[in-house]
Structure 1
Amino acid sequence: MGVDNETEGERIGMGSKEERDVRMACKVAAEILKRAGDSVVKPGITTAQLDKAIHKMIIEHGAYPSPLGYSNYPKSCTTSINNVIVHGIPDDRPLHPQDIINIDLTIYLNGYHGDTSATFVLPEVDKLGRELVSATQEALDLGIRVCKPGVQISEIGKVIGEFSRRHGFSVNSQISGHGIGKVFHQPPWIFHDVNSEPGKMMPGDCFTIEPCLVQGAKSRGDLWDDGWTLATETGARAAQFEHQVLITDDGVEILTI
């Protein structure tokens, strides 16, 4: 798909200070996402207010919001509602009781990035919306379960894609997971559908898995004029979950929990 997974990103030294630092960045990112979901996401709040609250939490932890200023991105997190697949820019739009919303946040702490996202269900979301969100979370879990040293990186996309189609959803292929650590985005690139990308997982590989599932068979998104927001062409709803993981000597560990 035009990306070379034979080019390696920088691996994390197992048992090193850098491992401890990346673990801490991920732990803090996970805590902030949970706090936002538990206490801030509710009908009536605007996504700009949500972004402001998340920014405040990040700064209180002595960290910096990695998206802010990244390629001129104007906010501290992304908020993607209903048919927005990824990278929705927080604004004055209030949340409605029927909405699903993905919050994607990355923090930079002590020289390392911690990246995570989740889709939250507001009180009046219908059954189909809840099924989409549940299936997306399960797809992420399945992708993580295949991870261990020596396994082809493409196995992640294989299990996610096959699971999604069995349940009547499609996977958006415009968005990939990525290696991460001192650098926000680096190899390996993690595709979430069946693919033939080369490369095997090795101890110290640190990357995100972040599948975007869409209702129906057409998963492709249109890029809005803001240069960031990617929304489904059909208006179908999308959901995304993301964890940052570390390949260990004998398996995988989720860092953003």
Structure 2
Amino acid sequence: MTFVAIIALLVVVELARTFGVLSGEVGTMIMWIIFDGGILVALAIVCRTWGSGSWAKDFGLRFRWFDVFIGLGSAVGIQLIGGMIGQFVIALTGETPKSNIAPPSPELVWVLINTVFATAIVAPFCEELLFRGLLLRGFRNTILRGRATNGVRRGAATPTTARRRTAAVVSVGASALIFAIVHLYEGWGSPVTMVTLGLTILVLGTVNGVYAATTRRLGPGIWTHVWFNTFTVLLTLARSGS
């Protein structure tokens, strides 16, 4: 229900922007504050109501000093894969995918707030908490608990190795797929952009999902997401200035 509520909030915010209710740089700032703030509020409620009250324990919000380097290397690799996907789509369709990031404002302050801070820092942090902290763990725990059979209550039996593997694969794949689908609206109106963006984001979600599943931490995934978005922002700024 929490995830559905957050998606509903995204739809409402996007409709408000589409119909001009949230327009201009101030409107853009309000939009990401509402959406990302909504994610944090929802997760805080989940953590306090159904969890232990610890974001580190419930969502894996923990970092190590080397996470920044893991993220940097991973982001470079994913950007290269994204570039290859883009070239393949261009060769196949003859059309060039568009950037999913809005053209930056001519005013530096709004570039820093809406393009750099919101896209490269806030969004990765909130999205990794939602998709890998809440959703991936939710899928995994649901599969591990299984269902009641032969008088054994749900979750009482120790999960088998096969169930653990299934839980890991399904949770990583499902959370990555939903992560990619949710981002498709950013390429709306351009099928080639939606395909390129969707496949690239799917790779990003899968890599971060594997990190979350194997390390039980969000640190590597958050840094990968931060670096990935940072490179995308820098490319957008470079193109807009050329």
Same fold by TM-score, threshold 0.5 exceeded? no
Greater fraction of residues in strand: 1
Structure 1-normalised TM-score? 0.27
Q: Which structure's relative contact order is higher, taking Cα pairs within 8 Å and 6+ residues apart? A: 2
* Structure with bigger gyration radius: 2
